Amino acid sequence: MQDKKIRILVAKPGLDGHDRGAKVVCLALRDAGMEVVYSGLHRTIDEIVVMAMQESVDVIGLSIMSGAHLPICRRLMERLKEKDLADIHVVVGGVIPKNDIPKLMDVGATGVFPGGTPFDDIVTSIRSWF
C-alpha cells in the first residue's frame, strides 16, 4: 500500500496545552510523506473521533502529558468501536512510563512512542502497518 499516502490525525486530548512534542511529530511525519492533520488543543474524545471520521484518517496519534493516558486511550477505543472505526490504528506519545506501555497495548493501541523516540522509529512502525 506504499502508493497511498498514510493519513494521520495527531490529537491533543484534555486540558493540557503542552504541544511542542505533538507539533514536532506532525512535522516529522509530514516530512516522511504522510498527510498530517493536527487537532489543536483541548479536544474531547468525541471531537477527536469526529475529526478522524471527517478526515478519513488511517491513524490517530494521541499526545498525552498529563498522566491520564490509560483512561483516555480506553475511552477512545470504545468510541471508535461504537462508530465502526475500529480499523483506525491508535498510537500514543507523550510522557508515558515504561510500565504503562504493555497496558496501553492491551487497551488496543497499535504503538506507543514515549517522548524522545527517534522519528525514524515512529515512521518505520507506522509504515509497517500498511
Partner 1 sequence: MGVARYEKNEKDAITEVIYQSGIKVKPTYGPKDLEAVGFDYEKDLGDPGQYPYTRSLHPLGYRSRAWTTRQYTGFGTPQDTNERFKYMIAHGQNGLNVAFDLPTQMGYDSDSPMAEGEVGRVGMAVDSLQDFEIAFKDIQFDRIGSGLTINAVASIMLAMYQAVGEKFGYAKEQISATPQNDILKEMIGRGAWIFPVEHGVRLVCDTIEYSVKHLPRCNPVSICGYHIRESGATPVQEIAYAFEIAKAYIDNLVGRGLAPDEFVGRFSFNLNVYGNLWEQVAKFRAARKLWAKMLREQYGVKQDKNLYLRGLFGGGGSGLTKEQPENNIIRGAYYALAAALSGAQTTALCSFDEAYTIPTPRAALLSLRTLEILMEEVGLRDTVDPLAGSYFIETLTKEMEERILAEMSRVQEMGGMVHAISTGFIQREVTKQAYEFEKSLQHGEVTKVGVNKYVEGEQPEVELHEYDDSWVGTQIEKLKDLRRARSDKDVTQSLKTLEQTARTGGNVMPVLVECCRSYATVGEITAVFREVFGEWNEPRLF
| Residues 57, 88 contacting (CB under 8 angstroms) | yes
Which cell numbers in the block locate residue 130? 500498511
Least CB distance from residue 115 to partner 1, whole Å? 7
* Residue of 96, 87, 93 whose CA lies nearest to 129: 87
Backbone phi, psi, residue 60, to 5°: -115, 125
Backbone phi, psi, residue 35, to 5°: -95, 120
Least CB distance from residue 84 to partner 1, whole Å? 25
Closest to partner 1 by CB, 95 or 105: 95
Secondary structure of residue 122 in the 3-state scheme: helix
**Contact positions toward partner 1, by CB under 8 A?**
14-20, 23-24, 26-28, 30, 36-38, 40-42, 66-68, 71, 95, 115-116, 118-120
Least CB distance from residue 55 to partner 1, whole Å? 12
Least CB distance from residue 117 to partner 1, whole Å? 10
Which cell numbers in the block locate residue 30? 509530514
Closest to partner 1 by CB, 119 or 127: 119
Q: Give 33's DSSP letter.
A: T
Closest to partner 1 by CB, 42 or 81: 42
Closest to partner 1 by CB, 87 or 116: 116
